[in-house]
Amino acid sequence: MEILISIVVGILFTVGVYLILSRNMTRIIIGTGILSHGVHLLLLTMGGLKQGAPPLLGEKAASYTDPLPQALILTAIVISFGVTSFFLVLAYRAYKAHGTDNMDEMEGAKSDE
């Protein structure tokens, strides 16, 4: 199971990197979203995907899944959510100011004000 998920994570990383290397701002942001998706999945996988009950003590199971990676992922998700929303608004403002969503064209505009 871990091998399968690792391959999926690898594909997500590839897609993320490919999109980040494009010129269009929206594609770049989608790329970062996919990249962080891959990272969170990796965190889950690296914690081990052994069989076990969900980490709720009320389940009274013999073994539970590792609760630590889940807490880490939850933290990482809200952080990347905050950053992504900031990034989207920033891209919107940059689009308004520069009149383009192409990173290359933005580079040409040196003048301020």
> Does residue 34 contact residue 12 with C-beta atoms inside 8 Å?
yes
Report d(CA 40, CA 32) in Å as an integer: 12
> Which residue lies nearer to other proteins by CB, 6 or 53?
6
Q: Is 49 in the site for other proteins (CB under 8 A)?
A: no
- Which alpha helices (DSSP H) does the chain contain, by range? 2-20, 25-46, 67-98, 103-108
Place of tokens 């969170």: 40
Q: Is 106 in the site for other proteins (CB under 8 A)?
A: yes
Q: Is 27 in the site for other proteins (CB under 8 A)?
A: no
Among positions 39, 52, 55, 65, the unique one binding other proteins when judged by CB under 8 A? 39
Q: Is 1 in the site for other proteins (CB under 8 A)?
A: no
Q: What angle do CA 41, 87, 68 make, to 5 degrees?
A: 30
Among positions 22, 32, 65, 70, the unique one binding other proteins when judged by CB under 8 A? 32
Q: Is 12 in the site for other proteins (CB under 8 A)?
A: no
Place of tokens 């009274």: 60
Q: What are phi and psi of 102, to 5 degrees?
A: -100, 120
Interface with other proteins (CB under 8 A): 20, 25, 28, 32, 35-36, 38-40, 42-43, 45-48, 68-69, 72, 75-76, 79-80, 82-83, 86-87, 90-91, 93-94, 97-98, 103, 106-107, 109, 111-113
